Amino acid sequence: MVESGLAGRRKPTSADVARAAGVSQSTVSYVLTGKRPISEETRRRVEGAIAELGFVPNSGARTLAGRRSHVIGLMIPFRAGVEISANLAFVGEIAAIARKADHDVLLVTSDEGPAGLSRLRDSGMCDGLILMDVEARDPRVEAARGLGVPCVVIGVPDDRSGLSCVDLDFEAAGGDAVSLLVGRGRDVIGLVSPGPHGERGEMSFTRRFVAGAEASARDRAELVAASADPDFGSLARAVDSILSARPDCRAFAVHMSSAVEPVLAILRARGLEPGVDVDVVGVCDEDVAARNRTALDALVLQPERVSAEAMDALFCQIDGTRAVGTRLELVAAPVVTRGGAALS
């Protein structure tokens, strides 16, 4: 049922249409543009809501629709110190979603910085951009804010004003990791997380994970943190620094998918059997969690869901069904215990 008097109070938006029709904003966009096939029943509901509300699509968006490149620009990191396999999961999902919408993906490396974003805008090659690998204070974010091109950030920079941001809820994941370990009777917890790479600043997701862990540990457990690159030597030094500071530490939260299995091996080499002598929680890919359930609790990363949310937000901007503005969408990380049961 459409809200009574809506059209008289203010100009209806695509969000109002979506609510009235019981569909997503992107579905309203697809009905308007014909970009994706929509069932006849859904089309009738959307068109009925449009007629009842008196919704008028943005004329500028309709004009631009005929001059699109059908290319999405994706700025991702390819450099030392980055978990390439984790980023490829995003690339694969974004490319698959783009193809279903009859779009191609143009990859641009993060080392091009703001100049790379400006180049894409000036070339007119892309209908919209997705920016990954965001630092807490990232010069590309300010450039993205002034591009005048639809843009979605995967990550949460310190200043996200005017940006559409999508990411895993790393703060909640940090809190859940500590809660799992406290629930297993541990009151000293080692945190192994990614650190800055070279001259790069602090990564947003690391800060949020640590903040969530600290809040959850308050008055319940002592945290001993160490940062590392995703290589065996760096991870071994991180584990050893934690054990040196607190030899009684028998719980670890590992915030790097590629670091989980090396940390399990390092602990075994130090005479601590995971799942027996020491409890480990990994924030990791689903396949890592599945391979190690007998020794590992896990908060499973969601590259597919994060990518889908980011692409939906981007297409809504491109189609004119969602205005550019400050938005934040966080995806929860499901908790999987050693028995394989999903808790959230």
pLDDT band at 64 (very low <50, low <70, confident <90, very high): very low
| pLDDT at res. 320 | 78
| pLDDT at res. 301 | 93
**What is the CATH class of 170-301?**
alpha beta
| pLDDT at res. 47 | 85
| pLDDT at res. 265 | 97
Helices and strands counted in the chain (H then E)? 14, 12
| pLDDT at res. 26 | 80
| pLDDT at res. 67 | 62
The yes-or-no verdict on residue 2 having pLDDT over 70 is no
54 or 337: which leads in pLDDT: 337
| pLDDT at res. 138 | 84
> What's phi and psi for 78, nearest 5 deg?
-135, 90
Residue in 265, 332, 262, 253 with CA at minimum distance from that of residue 297: 253
The yes-or-no verdict on residue 65 having pLDDT over 60 is no
| Residues in CB range of 78: below 8 A, 6 or more apart | 84, 109, 110
Q: Above pLDDT 70, what percent of the chain?
A: 85
Query: What does the domain layout of the chain look like in residue ranges?
Result: 6-57, 69-168+304-333, 170-301
Residues 125 and 106: their CA atoms lie apart, in Å, by 9
pLDDT band at 275 (very low <50, low <70, confident <90, very high): very high
| Residues in CB range of 44: below 8 A, 6 or more apart | none
| H or E element in which residue 7 lies | helix 6-9
Model confidence over 220-259: pLDDT tens digits? 999 999 999 888 999 999 999 999 999 999 999 999 898 9
49 or 10: which leads in pLDDT: 49
| pLDDT at res. 58 | 56
pLDDT band at 210 (very low <50, low <70, confident <90, very high): very high
Residue in 56, 38, 46, 39 with CA at minimum distance from that of residue 20: 46
Residues 18 and 153: their CA atoms lie apart, in Å, by 24
The yes-or-no verdict on residue 126 having pLDDT over 90 is no
107 three-state secondary structure: strand
Token pair recorded at residue 312: 């939906």
Model confidence over 42-56: pLDDT tens digits? 888 988 888 888 887
pLDDT band at 199 (very low <50, low <70, confident <90, very high): very low
| pLDDT at res. 55 | 81
| pLDDT at res. 7 | 43
Q: Residue 275: left (phi > 0), alpha (psi -120 to 50), or beta?
A: left
| pLDDT at res. 82 | 60
| pLDDT at res. 269 | 97
In this chain, the answer to whether the domains covering 6-57 and 69-168+304-333 adopt an identical fold is: no
The predicted model scores a pTM of: 0.75
Architecture of domain 6-57: Orthogonal Bundle (1.10)
Q: CA distances (Å), 66 to each of 34, 97, 245, 318, in order? A: 12, 21, 63, 12
pLDDT band at 33 (very low <50, low <70, confident <90, very high): low
Determine the CATH number of domain 69-168+304-333.
3.40.50.2300
- Average pLDDT over all residues of the chain: 84
Model confidence over 278-314: pLDDT tens digits? 999 999 998 898 888 888 999 999 999 999 999 999 9
Q: Are 329 and 317 in contact (CB under 8 A)?
A: no
Determine how many CB atoms are found less than 10 A away from the CB of residue 184: 13
